[in-house]
Copies of this chain bind each other. A is one copy, B any other.
Amino acid sequence: MTDHDQKDMEQRVDARIVETLDYWIEQLGRLCAQPSISAQRLGIDECAELTATMLREQGFAAEILPTGGSPVVYGAAPGRGERTLLFYNHYDVQPPEPLELWNTPPFTLTRIGDTLYARGVSDDKGQLITRMAAAAAVRDVLGEFPINLKYFVEGEEEVGSPNIPGAIAAHKDKFAADACIWEFGGIDFAGRATQTLGMRGLCYVELEVQTASLDCHSGLGGSLIPNAAWRLVWALSTIKGPDERIRIPGFYDNAHPATARDLAYLAAQPDQSAEMLETYGVAGFLRGMTGGEELRRAAVFEPTATINGLNSGYQGPGAKTVLPAQATAKVDFRLIPDQTPEEIVPLLRAHLDAEGFPDVQVRYLAGVKPARTDPDHPFVQLSIQAAADVYGGMPIVEPLIGGSGPLHPFIHELGLPVVTSGCGHPHSRVHAPNENIRIPDFINGIKHTARIITRFAEM
């Protein structure tokens, strides 16, 4: 195909994307209306069925593969060319709580102006729909898929994808491909496209202390009976202090700092510190950081320890005088290459024992390894150029991002270069109330994915 033919075809695909927009917003509403909260195993099987049905409606052979946890929805359709592109997405969502902070019903797609609201409308149902819409538009224009397309849509990403490495190992041939588009993508605060090349790992644990068989009157036991809430507070305070340095011996041993090339990518990134302060309503960043490369490096090239939740004793209104027998904390560690969740748990256990907290139990809930794709792969450059054409400017390249996902087996088991594409924006409020996407971003995400499909056929 000549450059001119390619350009002309892409314009016809873009036009088809705009023509079919309302249909795909409807399909997005259909998918968001099915709750699928993996943390609570709520609506998971129903949402897997719906996803398979929607793929079949688009001409894909779809299967629901058991994994031991949430099933994986696998879809495949043949194309004219030899190459195979794999879409990795997930149909599960975060819990919608706190419900009282939502302005619209979380499981009803609601359009206000050019913005669409629902739990999962960005993460990750909206992103999944951009793939379906892009593939359909390309097929409508070309009469067929130009390459083989595969979907790997999992249902436990929001709880750390515990069964995904195993599922990939079990079906390695089925998922074989030449490249992968990852679950998310979109723009930064200034509207520039982003291209993500790596993700931090995750080690998610629950700490629990049980000091007595029943709660005690605080007047009776305050000086005598061990208090689970105090034990938990003291144990947590040994893990990290206000200097933000994680105090678990050995924790940083396998954490590699940013390379010169990473730092060059970071230096080219715009400073979005002001937008971030405004979005989260905070007066300043941790450790007095004010922005610049220092902030961007800290954001991703450092491992973290975050308390996700605390729970103990009486939490209702007013005063209840009770000495709690039980207390729990949810804590996640974000890991950088080459830390692994498997090494962190025993280090944490040894640390708590050494600090005098053998009574604090550690339950490993979820984890994934950190991973980075090879930025020199031609497919990565293809995606970057396609984004430049759709968004009218070179994308921001992120050598590593703060979030986590099961990227490791896709890169290291299936051997795929992995790029990003999609409809997200920095105010999408993923994981928070009033999650949203904007329709212009939705259209651009579809266009970008469509260009990757058509250009990968010619690469």
A residues in contact (CB < 8 Å) with B? 38-40, 94-95, 97, 101, 158-160, 200, 202, 204, 211-227, 229-230, 232-234, 236-237, 240-242, 244, 276, 279-282, 285-286, 289, 295, 298-300, 302, 304-325, 327-330, 332, 334, 356, 365-366, 401-404, 429-433
Contact = CB atoms under 8 A, between A and B. Distances in A.
Contact of A220 (B314, B402, B433): B402
A69 to B, nearest CB: 11
Report how many copies the assembly holds: 2
Contacts of A311: 310-311, 315
Given A214-B433, A219-B402, A298-B223, A321 B332 contact: yes
Nearest to A218: B306
Contacts of A316: 39-40, 95, 97
Contacts of A281: 212-214
Contacts of A289: 224
A212 B314 contact: no
A86 B299 CA distance: 66
Contact of A217 (B300, B315, B325, B403): B403
22 contacts: A38-B318, A97-B314, A159-B318, A219-B401, A219-B403, A221-B402, A222-B334, A223-B244, A223-B299, A223-B304, A224-B299, A225-B280, A225-B286, A227-B307, A229-B310, A309-B312, A309-B313, A310-B315, A311-B315, A319-B332, A321-B404, A321-B431
B280 A308 contact: no
Nearest to A330: B314
A214 B299 contact: no
Contacts of A300: 223
Chain A interface, >50% SS class: mixed
Contacts of A200: 219
A325 B306 CA distance: 12
A212 B225 CA distance: 35
Contact of A216 (B160, B241, B432): B432
Contacts of A433: 214
Contact of A318 (B211, B299, B365): B365
Given A234-B237, A403-B219, A160 B97 contact: no
Contacts of A39: 314, 316-320
Contacts of A431: 215-217, 320-322
Given A322-B431, A334-B218, A227 B306 contact: yes
Q: Which 8 A-B pairs have the closest CB atoms?
A: A213-B281, A222-B304, A219-B403, A39-B318, A309-B313, A229-B307, A237-B237, A311-B315
Contacts of A38: 318
Given A309-B314, A330-B313, A298 B224 contact: yes
A404 B322 contact: no
B314 A319 contact: no
A435 B372 CA distance: 58
B95 A320 contact: yes
Given A40-B318, A234-B242, A308-B319, 19 more contacts: A159-B319, A215-B432, A216-B431, A218-B332, A219-B334, A223-B300, A223-B402, A226-B282, A229-B310, A230-B242, A230-B306, A233-B236, A234-B237, A280-B325, A307-B312, A307-B313, A310-B327, A311-B311, A318-B366
A223 B302 contact: yes
A226 B288 CA distance: 11
A344 B299 CA distance: 40
A280 B318 contact: no
A367 to B, nearest CB: 9
Nearest to A300: B223
Contact of A282 (B211, B298, B366): B211
Contacts of A318: 38-40, 159, 365-366
Contacts of A220: 299, 402-403
A224 B213 CA distance: 39
B317 A40 contact: yes
B308 A402 contact: no
Contacts of A159: 318-319
Contacts of A218: 304, 306, 308, 332, 334
Contact of A212 (B211, B237, B282): B282
